[in-house]
Amino acid sequence: MRRLSRRSLLSVTGAAALSFSLRPFSAFAGFWQQLVGQQEPKPTKPITPNHEFYVTSYRSPPSIRVGEWSLSIAGLVDRPVTLTYEQLIAQPKVTQIVTLECVGNTVAGELMSTAEWEGISLRSLLQEVGVDAMAYDVVFRAADGYSDSIPVNRAMAGDVIIAHTMNGVALPQGHGFPARAIVPGHYGMKSVQWLTEIEVVAHDHKGYYQQKGWTEAAIVKTMSRIDVPGHGATVHGLRQQVEGIAFAGSRGIRLVELSTDGGEHWTAARLAAPLSPYAWTFWSYDWTVPTPGRYTLRVRATDGDGVLQTTLEQDPASDGAAGLHEITFAVVG
């Protein structure tokens, strides 16, 4: 089924957006799934193929010809530079598997994917140009007029990439060609696509989404999702492997638990080692179903700092959705 899209979220503005509660929407989604019938189990792939990677851009992607494109590093730097595409891809490369999630993603929504990104280290680039002591924000500006920023100390942490490659091929046009930022642990809005300029400034820059009231820090919230069995499914046999993912950005996932009794008792799932410190964690649980019937499963995660995922439901506006994912399905003998 289609999830609430970025476009429809953003068309709800101001007070209306903030007072919009997730509860009626999830109830509607559940009702809708009953109407449309069973859901096929949808195991998540550890690395999302490029053509399946989520897209949230609200307009068609700019088409950039590399011959006419360049990336300038300007503002409060000692030695400003402008890189052509050839110069960019000739720089020493770093590769990192990073999960991106849109701030508009709903609980268990699909605006979340993982790829292996290759490009240059933003820290190395900034060290080469020399950052002024007055610097506060590193602003990413794009060919579509979009911008967002991260504080200088965040930019210098070493994990931020100016990527030109996605899963082994040049960035597709729809994912930022020829270059984009990849900022691990933050909502996708910070991973600015179709980059044209990196500007170091002395003030707190307000980007495209911040001007519309969305979060500045955009640190991802801890989430967990049940992928198998699907909500509304009918499954056969009393031995069921339940599967899903959990994500807490750079904090990592320490524990995933399942409840079959509405949250009174919880059992730990088995965790697979994530492909990188910035990628989602896969979990599974071999469940011996006591007797055929209708069941509701709820999932929750604890992040690497030991903080349990909140049970409070929150709409994506303005700093990301919160709430626990629950599915209902039938087991026949």
User: Of 73 and 258, which CB lies nearer to ligand MTE in the complex structure?
Assistant: 73
Nearest alpha-carbon partner for 34 in 279, 328, 240, 261: 328
Q: Under the rule (CB under 6 A), what is the footprint of ligand MTE?
A: 53-57, 100, 102, 142, 144, 146, 175, 188-189, 191-194
Q: Which does 192 bind (CB under 5 to 8 A by kind): Mo ion, ligand MTE, none?
A: ligand MTE
Q: Minimum Å distance from CB 170 to Mo ion?
A: 22
The full length of the chain comes to: 333
Q: Minimum Å distance from CB 104 to ligand MTE?
A: 7
Q: Which does 55 bind (CB under 5 to 8 A by kind): Mo ion, ligand MTE, none?
A: ligand MTE
215 binds Mo ion (CB under 5 A): no
User: Of 188 and 244, which CB lies nearer to ligand MTE in the complex structure?
Assistant: 188
User: Of 5 and 311, which CB lies nearer to ligand MTE in the complex structure?
Assistant: 5
Q: Minimum Å distance from CB 194 to ligand MTE?
A: 5
Q: Minimum Å distance from CB 190 to ligand MTE?
A: 8
Rounded CA separation 102/245 (Å): 16
9 binds Mo ion (CB under 5 A): no
- Cross-strand partners of 141: 147, 197
Answer for which of 44, 50, 56, 328 binds Mo ion (CB under 5 A) is 56
Answer for which of 71, 102, 182, 269 binds Mo ion (CB under 5 A) is 102
Residues 179-208 binding Mo ion (CB under 5 A) are: 188
User: Of 103 and 246, which CB lies nearer to Mo ion in the complex structure?
Assistant: 103
Distances (CA, A) of 237 to 91, 202, 330: 55, 62, 10
User: Of 113 and 121, which CB lies nearer to ligand MTE in the complex structure?
Assistant: 113
**Parallel, antiparallel or unpaired: strands 223-228 and 180-182:** unpaired
Q: Which does 53 bind (CB under 5 to 8 A by kind): Mo ion, ligand MTE, none?
A: ligand MTE
User: Of 5 and 34, which CB lies nearer to Mo ion in the complex structure?
Assistant: 5
User: Of 191 and 309, which CB lies nearer to ligand MTE in the complex structure?
Assistant: 191
Point out the residue whose Cβ comes nearest to ligand MTE. 188
Q: Minimum Å distance from CB 174 to ligand MTE?
A: 7
Q: Minimum Å distance from CB 110 to ligand MTE?
A: 11
- Written in H, E and C, the secondary structure of the chain is CCCCCHHHHHHCCHHHHHHCCHHHHHHHHHHHHHHHCCCCCCCCCCCCCHHHCCCCCCCCCCCCCHHHCCEEEEECECCCEEECHHHHHHCCCEEEEEEEECCCCCCCCCCEEEEEEEEEEHHHHHHHHCECCCCCEEEEEECCCCEEEEEHHHHCCCCCEEEEEECCEECCHHHCCCCEEECCCECHHHCCCCEEEEEEECCCCCCCCHHHCCCCCCECCCEEEEEECCCCCEEECCEEEEEEEEECHHHCEEEEEEECCCCCCCEECEECCCCCCECCEEEEEEEECCCCEEEEEEEEEEECCCCECCCCCECCCCCCCECCCEEEEEEEC
Q: Minimum Å distance from CB 18 to Mo ion?
A: 18
User: Of 210 and 302, which CB lies nearer to ligand MTE in the complex structure?
Assistant: 210
Binding site for Mo ion (CB under 5 A): 56, 102, 188
